A and B are shown apart, each in its own frame.
Chain A
Amino acid sequence: MWFRLASCVLVTSALLAGADIRGTIAIERKLTRRNVTASAGMYQRGSTVELGADSEGDALAFERSHVAVYIESGPNSVVSSIVKASIEQRDRRFVPDLVVIPAGSSVSFPNFDPIFHNVFSLSKAKSFDLGNYPQGQNRIVTFSSPGVVAVYCHLHSNMAATVVVAPSRWAVRADGNGLFTLKDVPAGTYTVVAWHKAAGTFRKTVTIGEKGDAEISFTLPYIDSTDIKPVAHR
């Protein structure tokens, strides 16, 4: 009993003693194109909405903040934990449009728009169809297997969100500056994945010793600029 307790404490202390993996995501150019869509609440007689303009703000910050970073594999200690995330439907958009969760977590899809939405996914990791539901209603989906799940709305083809289901508990989104921290990672050698919807998946190996944090950086120019062709010109 004591031993077990001790071992438990040991494990706990070992976990507590784990170091952080700090990293940066560098993205040099815009990878996706975003359009503003009118707020669904504005579709009432007499009111008007401007459509089609690119959203404002720092485009590269947007890209950097849409990178999911997680530990894919490592020594014995790659374990999962359950969180509850939420993707809201506001103004005919999924907010947020990217969630990174450990496998087994659930995501709720509440509808805050004055119109119907119909959330579904056909992804291999998790396929579901939540049906039409109006404002104020909510649906919850549990994602048990890791993978990237693309979420859409049957009624609004421009609505899209991604649920990245990580195989470990160390799963985060980078911030606008491209910074991320994977906290309390025990010593060992890990494969760290950086995933971007358009850029793809990038893997790097990092080793964490007994003491001290590890640093890691990703650069995501996934294709040469010469290969980029505007879709409209094809």
Chain B
Amino acid sequence: MRFATRTFLSSFVPLAVLLVISFWAVRAAVIATVRDSLRAAVRDKQLALAREQTRQETRDRKLLQGVAENPTLKAGLQLLALEHKVKDQARNTVEDQLSEICDSLNFDFIMVSGARGEPLAAVIREAGGFAPLSLIRLHTPEQGFFSVDDRLYEVTSVPMHEAGAQVATLTVGGRFDISRFGVPAVLLHKGAVIEAQMRDLAPAQIEKALATCTLSADCELRIQDETYLSLPLGQTAGVGGDSYILRSLQNVDAASAPLQAVLRKLFLITGLIAIAAMLAISALSSRSIARPLADVAAHLRSSAATGELPEFRENQSVVQEIRDLTQGFNHAAKAVQESRERLTRAYVQFVGSLAQALDARDAYTAGHSRRVSELSCAIAKAMNISEQDLETIRIGALLHDLGKIGISDLVLQKPGRLTQEETDLIRQHPVIGKRILENVQGLEAYLGIVELHHENWNGTGYPRGLKGEETPLHARIVKVADAYDAMTSDRPYRRGKSHAEALAVLRSVSGSEMDSSVVEAFALLGDLRQPAALEGTQSLRSLSQAVRRDAAPQAAEPVTVLESEAS
């Protein structure tokens, strides 16, 4: 997993989860609050209605008490009581009176009953007028509800007094309209729903739910997974088994539904916006966190590709930790660089020492490798060869005769002519040198010089007989320098040639043995050798000192001319 992804996820996921949870919690709390306040409002409204209903009933009673004192009605009742011959007409008379009362007081039903409760006359409002009611099937409660022809009436009664004694009861009522309450209501009789405003609810469901409610208290109930609030309305509830119960029944959930919908929408939108914002912020922050690290990683990757260990620019990053990291890396890189340099130095010293030790086997060849190295470098410089190749030539030239380790001193230091066999032996030294160096890691670059510095331009050289530019330039340069140093060095059997003589010999084989371009470059250098300041042999110590200064190959060194017969 990438670091950026990781930081993004670790910042976004907890935030998102937190946000979602808190939004959910806030939404739930808000909706609960809304519902509670709505429930309170509904309850208040229902309570107000119930109070209003009670007050209305009280007022109706007072009004009725006034009506009960109506003298014409009393006269009518007397007539009814006394007149037996034309009973129908007497009742008609009373019914007529009742109609007038009913009309003037806007009742829908009116009835008088005698002292024993027997109905005497009753009138009911029909469409546009009044009609007398048959008394046979009339069983009217004094208080509560009764129905005629599927019409429900809500009635109340007052006694009628004559000389202090109750002579009759006047019962009046209005058509019961359940919708007049302004809140959904339900009327129950003996636990069964008679009248309900909830069209979408089955009466059985309402009955079952309301069965848990007490008569006089408000209660909350659940029907079809929705919350309803129910309060008793008024004091119309009768007593005993024949009781009517009028209750409000309002769906609290439905009342709060529009608000809930709005809230849900609001929270959804804000939640989405917040999550989007968080997404952006998380992405940005993860980028800004991961970027310096990615930069460092990219830097390291590129250095891995090149093999270099470049240092980071100081204080590149504003992040303290990244700065520490790059600084630490810089220290490490510096240390690696230093140790590598130390290794290289030690290696170069070792190689130099090896070469000197080789040269020192023969007093005449002492310093030969170093001089060839110097000369080769001078030629290479003149030929505008790159710095890196120059270093290869310098060390390669130092090692060019390494293979002579494997050749007996007897052959190597034999004065006088060599036999064919001896010559063949000596000619083995480039291959031997190559074999020795082959197995050392990091010296691959010098193998060409060590193996091929005896190849000729015209292909007559050894060990492979390469022609022209088949031989690497490094080897061709070292060949010229080797030959020159051999010619100009003293030998036990002859003195060394002068520069001019040696150059003449080189020129004579230029194009055949030697690469003419290298010879020409060499010729232009002129005589590089100082007049011999130091004669005779040199101690190994001074040699190693000279090698130690190899880092500056241009520096002129006192030269002791020696000769290697085999070169």
Residues of A within 8 A of B (CB): 37-38, 40, 43-52, 92, 114-116, 118, 132, 134-135, 154-158
CB distance from B83 to the nearest CB of A (A): 7
Which chain B residues have a beta carbon within 8 Å of chain A's beta carbons? 71-72, 75-76, 79, 82-83, 86, 89-90, 92-93, 95-97, 99-100, 103-104, 126-134
* Contact call B75/A52, Cβ cutoff below 8 A: no
Interchain CA distance A37-B104 in the complex, whole Å: 12
- In the complex with contacts A134-B89, A154-B75, A115-B96 CB distance below 8 A: yes
For the complex, what is the distance from the CA of A219 to the CA of B305, rounded to whole Å? 133
Q: Are B72 and A157 neighbours in the complex by a CB distance under 8 Å?
A: yes
| A135 to chain B: closest residue by CB | B89
Whether A43 pairs with B95 at a CB distance below 8 angstroms is yes
Pick the most buried of A52, A114, A135, A155: most chain B CB atoms within 10 A of its CB: A155
Beyond A114-B89, A116-B89, is A48–B96 a contact (Cβ under 8 Å)?
A: no
Whether B92 and A51, one on each chain, are in contact in the complex, defined by CB atoms closer than 8 angstroms, is no
Assess whether B131 is in contact with A46, with CB atoms less than 8 Å apart. yes
> Are A48 and B131 in contact (CB-based, < 8 A)?
yes
Question: Known: A43-B132, A132-B79. Is A48-B126 also a contact (CB below 8 A)?
Answer: yes
**CB-based contact A40/B103 at 8 Å:** no
Chain A residue contacts of B93, Cβ below 8 A:
40, 115-116, 155
The 9 closest A-B pairs by CB, nearest first: A48-B129, A115-B93, A116-B93, A154-B75, A49-B129, A134-B86, A115-B92, A134-B89, A157-B72
Q: A118-B75, A155-B75, A156-B72 are in contact. Are A40 and B92 (CB under 8 A)?
A: yes
- Among candidates A43, A50, A52, residue contacting B96 with C-beta atoms closer than 8 Å: A43
A50 and B129 in contact, given A116-B89, A118-B75 (Cβ under 8 angstroms):
yes
Nearest-neighbor residue (CB-CB) of A159 within chain B = B72
Are B96 and A92 in contact, CB atoms less than 8 angstroms apart? yes
Task: Say whether, besides A118-B79, A155-B75, A47 and B96 are in contact (CB < 8 Å).
Answer: no
Using Cβ atoms and an 8 Å threshold, which residues of chain A touch B75? Answer: 118, 154-155
The residue among A132, A135, A157 with the most chain B CB atoms within 10 A of its own CB is A132
Pick the residue among A38, A50, A116 that contacts B79 (CB under 8 A): A116
A67 smallest CB distance to B (angstroms): 29
Q: Which chain B residues border A132 with CB–CB below 8 Å?
A: 79, 82-83
**How far does the Cβ of A58 sit from chain B's closest Cβ, in whole Å?**
26
Contact partners of B79 in chain A: CB under 8 A: 116, 118, 132, 155
Q: List 10 A-B contacts (CB under 8 A).
A: A40-B93, A45-B134, A47-B131, A48-B127, A48-B130, A48-B131, A51-B99, A116-B90, A155-B76, A158-B100
